[in-house]
Structure 1
Amino acid sequence: MRKWSKMSESNQNGQRGKRVFKKKQQEELSIEALVSSLREGNRKALAQSITLVESKAHHHRQKAQELVQGILPYTGSSIRIGITGVPGAGKSTWIEAFGKLLIKQQMKIAVLAIDPSSSLSGGSILGDKTRMEQLSHHPDVFVRPSPAAGTLGGVHRMTRETILLCEAAGYDVIIVETVGVGQSEGMVRGMVDFFLLLALTGGGDDLQGMKRGILELVDAIVINKADGDNRDKALTARGDYRGLLHYLKPATPGWNPSAYAASAFTGEGIEEVWNVINRFVKETKESGAFENRRSSQALDWMEQMIMDRLYEEFIQKEGRKDQLAILKEEVLRGKLLPTEAAAKLFS
């Protein structure tokens, strides 16, 4: 009986080992299959991959890292464009007009729209697939809204990985649209090649709600809505912005940013902006500034990941979340200073 028990236990352990091995093999194959599907331009696989890298679940982290590592050899060939602007500048409408031009030139486009989110509910309050209705339904366009809640500067913590996934899926141009309230521009500048500011007529007046430093980040300014009765005002604003840019240090070495007028409604000026972007890529690649920027961005990405990982590891320690909740309540009630709360948490 004792001998049979040992044999039975041995068989059970063997079966358990086979199941673990099979499960591990399936997980490995699933990552390989995901990479393969991405390379084929499978939109469902792209959406699943983005969901995986955006996941905050601890057990997804390793798989997400394996996925990003697997697609790295197939990344880096796109043009990454950041677009920002004050509320009402018509970013989504302009992106749709811009995207239509690129589609005519047989290009695939991915739009990563960073949505502002409710601070109370955490829910996204904008729907970019609704705002870019025509563009989002095209088979060569991928639109992905990402909630900004809980992330530094309003930019989703995994936007960099999402860019790489889109590149691996064969998208030629990656557009990152920011909230446009002066919070996320610096971070988006740190993950794109070309940074574009959409402005309205009135010269610098419409920048009062944004930080002046944004002008020092841009590679071009486009005065939108340059049509109808507003066209002359837009041309005047273009001159005003060109004058402002003349006195600022260029964001990209060797490139002098300028201002342009365009209309998302009529399409006038859109192609000129695309030609400017192509000229920027050509000149910066020749000078080495393009690769230098991407190398610098890779280091920034590494530092951000270290900071994120340190926070996660710190907060996951046993009992720390409960302690943090108590300290937050005491700070809210005015019983404890934020500095004291932080000191207690670290002690």
Structure 2
Amino acid sequence: MSSSNKQAGSLNEKAGISSPEITNASAISQIKNKRRQQPSAEELISGIISGNRTTLSRAITLIESTNQDHTEKANQVIKGCLSEANKSIRIGITGVPGVGKSTFIEAFGKHLTSLGKKVAVLAVDPSSSLSHGSILGDKTRMEELVKDENAFIRPSASGETLGGVARKTRESIILCEAAGFDVIIIETVGVGQSETAVHSMVDFFLLLKISGAGDELQGIKRGIMEMADAIVINKADGDNIKKANLAKIEFNRALHLFPSKKSTWQPKVTTCSAITKDGISDIWETISQYFELTHETGYFDEKRKEQNQFWMIETINEHLKSDFFNNPKILSQLDETKKAVQNNEISPFAAAQILLDKYKKI
């Protein structure tokens, strides 16, 4: 077959194989044209506000893109959605791998949708430091919730972001709120540093634990416990019920030793089973009590304002870093400077200062 008869694209990947006769050439052309067309910022905004999940997914993909050409359009979409945002409850959920975060979130999410809530789950999946790939299997683990018409699950790769928090999770929250979701759940990787970042973008921070995994208090960092607004001991079923109740007593004792929170809220410890659903409704009751208190004292709005300022500074830092490492004049000297550092010809600090001085003069 001549090259002029070959059709490019996924509909005909192998050379020498023509499309079957039943294939409509017009339909193929329409599909290809549609793939090439990218919705405008206005179309994305309109689709998000109307609750179109496909549009919401496309918009999140856009803001997660590291392509510099997408930045301006992404900023337009975020700006267009701001007036419809800030109307949800933002809940951060963390816990070490194996604690049952996905199973818990599914049970908790199903409980919320049964109450008429619209729930969005932003799950951050760890990326490989070698291949940079991610499994993104949260939808697979939440089989029931993913089929719920009042739920939206978006797994995102953590990439190179410190601690595993997806780079654009903060903006994704705004888009989900504009799409009409009442409760936004952010699941962390649960490997350490990510908790601080998630705490800075949520209203309520929930720490998930299991009993019988060793020393209950040594198994978790004090810093994370101090951030937690509630500690939930999962897998409190069968033979684990007694262990879970003992762990609850230990955590309660520990929490009372910590300084009082600015919100005046006293963190609570409870047990639950994501399998049997026991204790799930109590957790939502605890969260509701927290929001009632913080709204009355004004702490809720104060915290949101502080978080907005924090993310403004973080965004500036991110843009400066990106601009620095993508600057052609810096790139032309970067490899040579790296080699000099590796060969101990210059200290890392002096090398950094040379590059920064060069950047300031650009």
* TM-score class, shorter: 0.7 to 0.9
Q: Which amino acid aligns with 1:116?
A: P
Distance in 2 of aligned mates of 1:270 and 1:161: 29
Larger mean Cα displacement after TM superposition, 209-218 or 183-192: 209-218
Matched, 1:299 2:309: yes
The structure with the largest helix share of the pair is 1
The residue number in structure 1 matching 2:184 is 174
Deviation of 1:210 (Å): 4.3
How much identity, in percent, do the aligned residues show? 51
The answer as to whether partners of 1:219 and 1:258 remain within 8 angstroms in 2 is yes
**Uncovered stretches (5+) of structure 2, i.e. residues with no partner:** 1-36, 358-362
Q: Which amino acid aligns with 1:258?
A: K
Larger mean Cα displacement after TM superposition, 37-46 or 307-316: 307-316
Larger mean Cα displacement after TM superposition, 254-263 or 126-135: 126-135
Q: 1:128 to 1:342 in 2, by over 3 A?
A: same
Q: 1:208 to 1:124 in 2, by over 3 A?
A: farther
The residue number in structure 2 matching 1:107 is 117
Q: 1:85 to 1:333 in 2, by over 3 A?
A: farther
Deviation of 1:206 (Å): 4.7
Distance in 1 of aligned mates of 2:249 and 2:219: 21
Distance in 2 of aligned mates of 1:324 and 1:165: 37
The residue number in structure 2 matching 1:20 is none
The residue number in structure 1 matching 2:157 is 147
Matched, 1:246 2:276: no
List aligned pairs for 1:288-327, cutoff 5 A: 288-327=298-337
Deviation of 1:331 (Å): 4.4
Residue by residue, what CA displacement relative to the aligned partner does 1:251-308 show, whole Å, maximum 9, x if unpaired? Answer: 4521000100100011000000001111111110111010011000000010001101
The residue number in structure 1 matching 2:10 is none
The residue number in structure 2 matching 1:268 is 278
The counterpart of 1:135, out of the listed 145, 148, 153, is 145
Distance in 2 of aligned mates of 1:325 and 1:139: 51
Matched, 1:83 2:85: no
Task: Calculate the aligned-residue CA RMSD, in Å.
Answer: 2.0
Larger mean Cα displacement after TM superposition, 65-74 or 323-332: 323-332
Distance in 1 of aligned mates of 2:226 and 2:237: 27
Q: What secondary structure does 2:93 align onto?
A: strand
Deviation of 1:343 (Å): 2.4
Q: What secondary structure does 1:205 align onto?
A: coil
Q: What secondary structure does 2:92 align onto?
A: strand
Q: 1:329 to 1:137 in 2, by over 3 A?
A: farther
The residue number in structure 2 matching 1:211 is 221
Deviation of 1:155 (Å): 1.1
The answer as to whether partners of 2:44 and 2:59 remain within 8 angstroms in 1 is yes
The answer as to whether partners of 1:82 and 1:188 remain within 8 angstroms in 2 is yes
Distance in 1 of aligned mates of 2:224 and 2:260: 12
Q: 1:250 to 1:156 in 2, by over 3 A?
A: farther
**Uncovered stretches (5+) of structure 1, i.e. residues with no partner:** 1-25
Matched, 1:188 2:198: yes
Q: Which amino acid aligns with 2:154?
A: R
The residue number in structure 1 matching 2:265 is 255
Q: 1:49 to 1:203 in 2, by over 3 A?
A: same
The residue number in structure 2 matching 1:118 is 128
Q: What secondary structure does 1:253 align onto?
A: coil
The answer as to whether partners of 2:203 and 2:300 remain within 8 angstroms in 1 is yes
Q: 1:283 to 1:203 in 2, by over 3 A?
A: farther
Q: What secondary structure does 1:268 align onto?
A: coil
Distance in 1 of aligned mates of 2:42 and 2:140: 33
Aligned residues: 321
Q: Which amino acid aligns with 1:196?
A: L
Q: What secondary structure does 1:319 align onto?
A: helix
The residue number in structure 2 matching 1:56 is 66
The answer as to whether partners of 1:218 and 1:251 remain within 8 angstroms in 2 is no
Q: 1:97 to 1:202 in 2, by over 3 A?
A: same
Larger mean Cα displacement after TM superposition, 165-174 or 196-205: 196-205
Matched, 1:67 2:77: yes
Q: TM-score, normalised by structure 2?
A: 0.84
Deviation of 1:152 (Å): 2.8
Distance in 1 of aligned mates of 2:299 and 2:240: 37
Larger mean Cα displacement after TM superposition, 29-38 or 296-305: 29-38
Deviation of 1:322 (Å): 3.8
The answer as to whether partners of 2:216 and 2:250 remain within 8 angstroms in 1 is no
Q: Which amino acid aligns with 2:119?
A: I
The residue number in structure 2 matching 1:10 is none
Q: TM-score, normalised by structure 1?
A: 0.87
Q: 1:179 to 1:51 in 2, by over 3 A?
A: same
Deviation of 1:249 (Å): 2.1
